[in-house]
Structure 1
Amino acid sequence: MAATQPAIIDGHNDVLLKLYRAGGPARAQGFLDGLDGALDLPKARTGGFGGGFFAVYVPSPTDREFKMEEMSKPKYDLPLPEPIDWEDAVPVVLSQAATLLELERAGALVVCRSAADMRAALQAGRLAAIFHIEGAEAIDPDLHMLDVLHAAGLRSLGPVWSRSTIFGHGVPFRYPSSPDIGAGLTDHGIRLVRRCNALGIMLDLSHLNEAGFWDVARHSDKPLVATHSNAHAICPHSRNLTDEQLRAIAESDGMVGVNFAAAFLRPDGQMNANVPISVMLDHLDHLMGILGEDRVGLGSDYDGAVVPQMLTTVADLPKLRQAMTERGYGDTLIAKLCHENWLRVLEKTWGS
């Protein structure tokens, strides 16, 4: 098996936010030439990064230094930012969506609207991008913006990014903690779930609290998917999934993408990049023990989190494939974890 094969489809990256902060669509060329960050086209080719979920995210004002300091303590409970108004969220979302479309026009990637699009891009050696939104602040109560964004290519949506929206409530960055924190979906959130099902927009459960998770499980007729979450049994962080949640995902024939963020990998919950790849494989093993080999993949959170120092950028992904081989994973299983399981669940959610 070549170091860059099989190609990796990834459940989450934040490069669009990085480009937004650098100037928006006008900075798209930097992605082709190379960026100071985890993901760009040259690094993708070096590491065999085939594409994945390109997240659109509206940032809150945060003190990163304070956050990193708190998440280096044995216990922490960071206050969640205030909700973001629709009027403030819309221009940020449109700018990042426009950046994704500009990347497609520039030839850097293909925005995929079907599983067939994904397969065709992989076969052609093109970067396959899924338009994903993390936090539904730009969606109005009537869901008109959802229809517009779907027409522009939106195929995956997280109702919340931890902070509350009109659709539901997320989990704070709290360790140690259960994800069972507060109320779940609102009435607007239940309507959002049903409309996403009708449109073929995948629902991402990664930042929902446990009550919201079970609300989606009750009201959705699609597989349950967490694009970038880990095993609570190994790292008891509020952002991780309990074994009971994992069993529900398995019953729905859904999917979990293992998050590379150090605080969700390390058993001590600390945002410290000193994380052996073996810890990530421990999460994979635990998830496969409940979900089976067909329902687990990768969800890096590149350009949005502190990741293991051996996997700083997508160019380092050959090290992960090698570690899988050394753990005893065969070529067939590695191909499933790298991209085949994502293609399977997308076909079930979107259709072919």
Structure 2
Amino acid sequence: MADQVAVFDGHNDTLLKLEVAERLGRVRDFGAGEPSLDIDLPRAREAGFAGGLFAIYTPSRVNALDQPYDRDDPMNFAPVAQRDALDFTLAMFARLTRLARELPQEVAICTDTAMVRAAMAEGRLAVVPHVEGAECIDPGLNALEVLYAAGLRSLGLVWSRPNAFGHGAPMDRQPVLEPGEGLTELGEILVQACERLGILVDLSHLTEAGFWDVARISTKPLVASHSNAHAVSPNARNLTDRQLDAIRESGGLVGLNFHVAFLREDCRLDHETPITTMLRHLDHLIERVGEGGVALGSDYDGCELPREIGDVTGLPRLVAAMRQAGYGETLINRICRENWLDVLSRTIG
């Protein structure tokens, strides 16, 4: 389509869905099309989804993937052993490597911004590997070095559970945000190591206390790949205005999360959440962070999506809503792609 906008997205869990499905004997075909996924290659092309940070995440139930899933089970947020997390992380990295090898004209693993732009220009899906939750990393940071060599370029210090490096924010409605516990001493060492290597440090899922610990020691732009505005939706996973101001001062970025409970004022899991609610967040984020600091961090294949969005093919509907709301084409392109590429150029190169 002539008015299609190329999108580089800050977060999805598609690799996790592929890995879990195969372990359960339910093979999914990312290349040919798979309706059980939010993103597959044919629909990505249809929607203008040109690339993004693809998450490698170890679920708390990693040793019980065949058990029925209960959303309210506290074990979903239990800590994960480092060895289990490393084994699962390596399996997902191998899956991504095989996918790029099997589809060389369609998928490219990218380790710097020039590679991302080149892949997108060639019509290949530009995948930047991201690890969500640092459980797989040992205290000596040996795994960090090896994962970096394998292509790791973005690291979320925590998911919404504690680990050796820090503490994660709950996914609860908190009108008055509780700061929680921050980084450990090892967490501060990890942040500094990531900055030396050229790995983006992702603040999504961190507690507020952890956010300020990173802000205190970081020399790089503060980035929250998939978080929203707490002033619009008072979920503990969202960012206060003070945090947003700090991100702006650092030249950082926030990626809009599509999860309905992080979008809605009542924080309910209601799929009848209109796209206009997403625009409320974008408006607030632009006001606090500026036009150069707002992007998309959909959380496709890892969240409950608004029905109007549905899956990756909903991206053009979001773009159309931005146009209808008076967003200019330059701003739309910044939100959909250019702001991510700018912050990546200043973090990973």
TM-score by length of 2: 0.94
Shift of residue 34 of structure 1?
1.0
Specify the SS of the correspondent of 1:166: coil
Q: Counterpart of 1:46?
A: 46
Q: CA deviation at 1:64?
A: 4.5
What corresponds to 2:245 in structure 1? 247
Secondary structure at 1:174 match in 2: coil
**Residue from 203, 209, 212 that aligns with 1:211:** 209
Please say if 1:307 is aligned against 2:266.
no
Q: How does 1:1-352 map to 2 (within 5 A)?
A: 2-3=2-3, 5-23=4-22, 30-35=29-34, 36-61=36-61, 64-67=69-72, 81-107=77-103, 108-351=106-349
Q: Name the amino acid aligned to 2:10.
A: G
- Paired AA for residue 336 in structure 2: C
Change in Cα spacing, 1:210 to 1:252, as seen in structure 2 (3 Å) is: same
Q: 1:176 deviation in Å?
A: 2.7
Q: Percent identity?
A: 52
CA distance in 2 between counterparts of 1:111 and 1:183 reads 35
Range that drifts further, 316-325 or 230-239: 316-325
Q: State how far apart, in whole Å, the 1-side matches of 2:267 and 2:70 are.
A: 17
Q: Give the AA of the match of 1:98.
A: A
Q: CA deviation at 1:79?
A: 8.0
Residue 103 of structure 1 and its aligned partner are, at CA, apart by: 1.3
In structure 1, give the amino acid aligned to 2:163: T
Of 105-114 and 159-168, the range deviating more from structure 2: 105-114
Q: Give the unaligned 5+ runs of structure 2.
A: 62-66
Per-residue CA distance 1:324-350 (angstroms, 9 max, x = gap): 110001111111011000000001112
Distance (whole Å) between structure 1 residues aligned to residue 176 and residue 185 of structure 2: 24
1:65 CA displacement: 4.2
Q: Distance in 2 between matches of 1:80 and 1:21?
A: 15
Give 1:28 deviation, angstroms: 8.3
Give the superposition deviation at 1:80: 6.8
Is the Cα–Cα contact under 8 Å of residues 28 and 99 in structure 1 kept in the other structure?
A: no
Distance across 1 between alignment mates of 2:80 and 2:281: 33
Deviation at 1:178, TM superposition (A): 4.2
**How many residue pairs get matched?**
340
1:173 Cα deviation (Å)?
1.5
How much does 1:63 deviate? 6.9
Q: State the TM-score, normalized to the length of structure 1.
A: 0.93
What do residues 121-149 of structure 1 show as CA deviations (whole Å, max 9, x unaligned)? Answer: 11111101010000011000000000000
Equivalent position SS for 2:347: helix
Report if aligned partners of 2:60, 2:75 keep a CA contact under 8 Å in 1: no
What SS is found at the alignment partner of 2:165?
Answer: coil
Letter aligned with residue 273 of structure 2: V
- Alpha-carbon distance in 1 for matches of 2:140, 2:128: 24
CA distance, structure 2, for counterparts of residue 310 and residue 231 of structure 1: 20
Amino acid at match of 2:133: G
